[in-house]
Amino acid sequence: MTPSAPSLPFRDKGLANTVAAETQMSFIDGAKGVLEYVGIDIDSLARQSTFEETVFLLWNRRLPKAAELQAFCASVRSEYEVDARVHDIVRALPRSTPPMHALRTLVSCLAHFDREADENSPEANRRKALRLLAKTPTLIAMFDRHRKGKPFIAPDRSIGIAENFLWMLNGARPTEAMSRALDICLVLHADHGLNASTFAARVTVATLSDMYSAITTAVGTLKGPLHGGANQEVMEMLLEIGDISKVDDYIMGKLSRKELVMGFGHRVYKAYDPRAGFLKTFAKQVATDTGNITLYDMSRRIEEIMAREVSAKGIYPNVDFYSATTYYSLGLDLDLFTCIFAMSRVGGWAGHCIEQLEANRLIRPQADYVGPHGVKYVAIAQR
Ligand SMILES: CC(C)(COP(=O)(O)OP(=O)(O)OC[C@H]1O[C@@H](n2cnc3c(N)ncnc32)[C@H](O)[C@@H]1OP(=O)(O)O)[C@@H](O)C(=O)NCCC(=O)NCCS
């Protein structure tokens, strides 16, 4: 007999119309193109804050006083180093491994060297959040040095996250403008509501697993081209087009084949992504300063065509579109772009884990079974 289907509450494929958590971290109005962290608009933060201050804001839901910020930065810097055994694990990875695969493994392996890995008290989780924030850039830089056959560069505790990352990556002191450019990108990417990777982190931590598992889950989720992987694909597209004279044919060809143009569209924003709005002006300045204005001009032309062809559908540039040229202008390898996104979003992920555990409930939606019923089991010899 066919069992009657249980009455399911509500079908929402993609969960676009489901509110699965409360947050005090970021507010998004997709129709108006607004993003705020703890009530402060993203433009003000990008212009005036730093990544460390932004993370303090997200984790404490208020801006720090000067002494608090200084203490927070000192705590982060004291956690830059990773256990010597992690060095061996980095060296054991194939040099050909894509950096996001390496990052997923390395974030996970940090748990082995943290005695508090399974300690779920709020205090322990804040300490682990800090460690993850501080060590993720070190892991990315170490893996990049390893794959290029270069020696590791020890982190410098006297400088902030963005500057220290560029130092560990290149073994050369970045200019102030380069550090600031990266710092701004980190501020812009730090949190964004219940995006796919943040949701994944909250699902994991809601089982009362641990923060390392949650951030590992989040890294794996961010990797997809429909999420954090888009910035790399934007840059690959720009390099493939190669010249501004080829932009029109390329984009029109893609649209006529119903292919996606990476760096456009957003599940939540149906107006201009405010992060892209800020980065558009900023990317121009960085591209001009670094001799990459041709790439910027190509981006502008793509935006013009997309505005003409698809803006009626609510498709505008997203944060990945102009961050791609910014990262490229900073001399960063294309396949590190998503890792840098992860390095920033650790701030948001960890904050959401803390928030989830403050009022935890297991996250467990239902699936609508659409397969057959009453099928007879056939012994293996008879199949
Ligand atoms: C982000 C994204 C997954 C959002 O998807 P979504 O909310 O499900 O949007 P939809 O698929 O409903 O898109 C609505 C319409 O716009 C079109 N569209 C969406 N994004 C597009 C893009 N990047 N290029 C061209 N057309 C696009 C869809 O084909 C669809 O057209 P249709 O109504 O004629 O079928 C999607 O826009 C996308 O894949 N973008 C490219 C990847 C990217 O940049 N991701 C980073 C996000 S920060």
Tens of pLDDT, residue by residue over 348-359, are 999 999 999 999
269's CB contacts (< 8 A; 6+ apart) are: 28, 30, 33, 314, 316, 318
In tens, the pLDDT along 279-334 reads 888 888 888 888 889 999 999 999 999 999 999 999 999 998 999 989 998 999 99
Closest CA to 342 of 54, 156, 132: 132
pTM of the model: 0.93
CA of 265 to the centre of ligand 1 (A): 5
Give tens-digit pLDDT for 70-96.
999 999 999 999 999 999 999 999 999
Is 192 known to be catalytic?
no
* Domains of the chain, each with CATH number or no CATH: 43-222+341-358 (1.10.580.10), 230-329 (1.10.230.10)
Measured in Å, residue 319 CA sits from the centre of ligand 1 at 14
Token readout for 223 is 């990797």
pLDDT score at 2: 59
The answer to whether 141 and 153 are in contact (CB under 8 A) is yes
Closest ligand 1 atom to the C-alpha of 321? 44
Per-chain mean pLDDT for the chain: 94
CA of 230 relative to ligand 1 center, distance in Å = 12
Pocket of ligand 1 (CB under 6 A): 226, 230, 260-267, 310, 313, 315, 318-320
pLDDT interval class at 374 (50, 70, 90): very high
Note if 87 is an active site residue. no
Indicate if the pLDDT at residue 212 is higher than 90: yes
The residue among 11 and 148 whose pLDDT is bigger is: 148
Catalytically annotated residue among 189, 192, 266, 352: 266
| pLDDT-based confidence at residue 26 (cuts at 50, 70, 90) | very high
